[in-house]
A and B are shown apart, each in its own frame.
Chain A
C-alpha cells in the first residue's frame, strides 16, 4: 500500500496531516486496492453502514419525543405517530429499518459462508462481525420493548426469563435485569438507556471490523490471495463506491417499499395493544429475524437445554474458522461443500418458518430435525467435507482465466458461469 508515501498537496493540508494524519487515512480509504471481481454480494457492507447510520439518526430524533415510562410510553409512541411532524415517517423508517438491517446482515453473513471469508487470515474480521450481530440482536430486542405494547411486554418477559434457566443464580439475575419482581417500569427505563447505548458500541465495532478488513484486504469470489495493488485490483474509489451506491439505491427502493406501502407487515398487530401484565397473547412470536433461534429454543423439551442450544447456535459460529478444515475458501471450487451450503440455507429458512408456527405436531418434529441438522452442519459436515472433498483447480490470479485464456480452460468456463 502506498499510504506511507502520501503527501497532501496544499501547505495547510501538510501542516494538518503532520499533526493528525486524517488525510492519510482518507487517501488510504480512497486508494484501497480492492479485488476487481467483487460481485454484488460484496455491496452489503456499505448497505449495512447505511442501515446503522439510518437507525442512529432516526433513533436520536425519536428519543426527542418518546417517554420511557410504563404509563406513558405507549401513548408517546402514538403521539409520535399522530402529532409529531413526520413522526409517522421517522418511526416507520426506524422500525422497518431494523428489519432491513437484519436482512442485509443475513445476506452479508451468508456471503461469508459461501465464499469462505471467515477463513484465515480473516478470523478476527469474522468474530468482530459476529459481535456486531450479537449487539444488533440485543439492540433490536431492547428497541422492540420500548413501545410497551403486548408483544413488547411479553417478549421482554420471555427473553429475560431465559436467564432464569441458569442454575443457582438465574432468579437473582432476572430480578437484577428487571429491577423489580417482574418486567415493569424500571425495566423499561433501563432498556431505553441501553437501547440508546448499543448502536454506538456497534459503531465502534464497525470501525474495528473495517480496520481488520483493511489488513488482509477483501476476500473475493474466487477466494484466492491476490497481490495488492496489481492488475487484479482496482482502487476503492471510484470503482467500488459507484457499485456500492448503485446497490444501495436498489436496496433503498425495497426499504421505501416497506416504509410507504406496508409499514406494519413485518410487525405484529398485538403490539398495538397496550402492555397488560395479566394477559399473555395467545400466540407470541419474536420478530422474524430471531425466528430460527426461537425454533431451536422451543424444539428442546427442557428449559436449560433449550436455552443452551439457542445460545450455542450463535456461539458455534465463533469457532467456525477452526471447524472448517478446507484450505480452499470459495465454494465456487468446492463442489461438495456448495451443495451442503444450500441445504444449510434451506435448513435455516425452515427453522425460521417453524419458529413462527405453533410448537406442536409436525412443526415441532420438523423444528427438531432442523435443529439437529443445524448443529450437524457445523460439527460434522464442515470438518468432514473439508477433509474428504476433492476441490476443483484454483486459478493463480483473478486475471489469469481471462487474460491468458486460462491455464485450465475448463476452469475459466466454470468461473464465468458462477461469477
Chain B
C-alpha cells in the first residue's frame, strides 16, 4: 500500500516535471516567432530626424516624417501662445499646461506628433472649434497647444522627445 502510494507520487512528480519542461521549451520556441513581428533593427535605426527650422515664419508650421509618422513643427505667434495659456484647466479633458508642452525659453515652438490620439489619423491644421487642429476621421478638436478639447480622442497630441541642436535645428527622437 505504502509502496504503491510512493510510486504514484513519483509518477506524479515525473508528469509535472515533464509538463513544466515542455511548457518552458514551447515558450522558448514561440517567443522568437512572436518577437520577430516587433520593429526590427532597420526600423529602430530611423529613430532620429534633424529638421532645419530657419525658414519657418511666425504663425506657420511644417510637417516632417519621423518614424513613419508626421510631426508638426509650429512657430506660434505671441497671441497664440497667450491664447493657449489662458485656457482653464477645467476645460481640458486631459489637463496639461501649455508650458509643459514646449521647451522653456523656446515657447514659440510647438513640436508634436501629428497623430490623432483616437485612431491615428492626421489632423488638419487651422481647423476645428479651438483655432488648432481638427481630425477629419472621427471629429476630434485640438486647441492651439495640440490639446484635445472635444471628440473621442482620449489624450492630447503627443510631444515626442526632441532637442534644439542649435537655434536653427531641431533633432526629433
- Footprint of B on A, CB under 8 Å? 154, 157-158, 160-162, 164, 175-184, 186, 190, 277-284, 298, 300-304, 306, 358-360
B contact residues around A178 at 8 Å (CB)? 39
A contact residues around B118 at 8 Å (CB)? 161, 303
Does any Cβ of A come within 8 Å of B138's Cβ? yes
CA distance A278 to B154 in the complex (A): 22
Contact (A280, B69) CB under 8 Å given A161-B120, A162-B119: no
B contact residues around A306 at 8 Å (CB)? 152
Closest to A172 in B: B38
A181's partner among B69, B119, B137, B152 (CB-CB below 8 A) is B69
Q: Name which of A161, A177, A301, A304 has the most chain B CB atoms within 10 A of its CB.
A: A161
- B43-80 contacts to A, CB under 8 A, are 43, 63, 65, 67-70
Contact (A277, B69) CB under 8 Å given A162-B119, A179-B37: yes
A158's partner among B37, B43, B120, B153 (CB-CB below 8 A) is B120
Does any Cβ of A come within 8 Å of B4's Cβ? no
- B128-143 contacts to A, CB under 8 A, are 135-139
Does any Cβ of A come within 8 Å of B104's Cβ? no
* B120 with A303: CB separation less than 8 A: no
Contact (A278, B43) CB under 8 Å given A157-B120, A158-B119, A359-B138: no
Contact (A180, B67) CB under 8 Å given A186-B39, A186-B43, A284-B137: yes
Shortest CB-to-CB span from B172 to chain A, Å, is 12
Does any Cβ of A come within 8 Å of B40's Cβ? yes
Closest to B47 in A: A181
A182's partner among B38, B68, B135, B153 (CB-CB below 8 A) is B68
* B40 with A158: CB separation less than 8 A: no
Does any Cβ of A come within 8 Å of B121's Cβ? yes
Does any Cβ of A come within 8 Å of B157's Cβ? no
* B136 with A180: CB separation less than 8 A: no
* A158 with B68: CB separation less than 8 A: no
B contact residues around A281 at 8 Å (CB)? 136
B contact residues around A157 at 8 Å (CB)? 119-121
* B119 with A179: CB separation less than 8 A: no
CA distance A284 to B122 in the complex (A): 12
- Footprint of A on B, CB under 8 Å? 34, 37-40, 43, 63, 65, 67-70, 117-122, 135-139, 151-154
A contact residues around B135 at 8 Å (CB)? 280
* B121 with A180: CB separation less than 8 A: no
* A181 with B68: CB separation less than 8 A: yes
Closest to B38 in A: A176
* A277 with B70: CB separation less than 8 A: yes
Contact (A183, B119) CB under 8 Å given A359-B139, A360-B139: no
Contact (A179, B137) CB under 8 Å given A158-B120, A186-B43, A277-B70: no
How many A-B Cβ pairs are below 8 Å?
88
A contact residues around B37 at 8 Å (CB)? 176-177, 179, 190
CA distance A348 to B86 in the complex (A): 45
* 12 A-B residue pairings within 8 Å (CB atoms): A158-B137, A164-B119, A181-B39, A182-B69, A186-B43, A280-B121, A280-B136, A280-B137, A282-B136, A283-B136, A303-B117, A303-B119
* B68 with A300: CB separation less than 8 A: no
CA distance A283 to B153 in the complex (A): 17
A280's partner among B39, B117, B122 (CB-CB below 8 A) is B122
Shortest CB-to-CB span from A190 to chain B, Å, is 7
* A186 with B40: CB separation less than 8 A: yes
B contact residues around A360 at 8 Å (CB)? 139
Shortest CB-to-CB span from B37 to chain A, Å, is 5
* A154 with B121: CB separation less than 8 A: yes
A contact residues around B138 at 8 Å (CB)? 298, 359
Closest to A182 in B: B68
* B139 with A175: CB separation less than 8 A: no
A contact residues around B120 at 8 Å (CB)? 157-158, 160-161, 164, 182
Closest to B118 in A: A303
* A158 with B39: CB separation less than 8 A: no
* B122 with A179: CB separation less than 8 A: no
* A303 with B152: CB separation less than 8 A: yes
Closest to B117 in A: A303
* A303 with B69: CB separation less than 8 A: no
Shortest CB-to-CB span from B125 to chain A, Å, is 12
B65's partner among A179, A180, A277 (CB-CB below 8 A) is A277
* A181 with B43: CB separation less than 8 A: yes
* A278 with B65: CB separation less than 8 A: yes
A contact residues around B151 at 8 Å (CB)? 301
* A158 with B121: CB separation less than 8 A: yes
Contact (A278, B122) CB under 8 Å given A179-B38, A190-B37: yes
Shortest CB-to-CB span from B14 to chain A, Å, is 35
A contact residues around B43 at 8 Å (CB)? 179-181, 184, 186
* A182 with B119: CB separation less than 8 A: no
Q: A-B pairs with the 7 shortest C-beta distances?
A: A182-B68, A181-B67, A161-B120, A161-B119, A280-B121, A158-B119, A280-B122
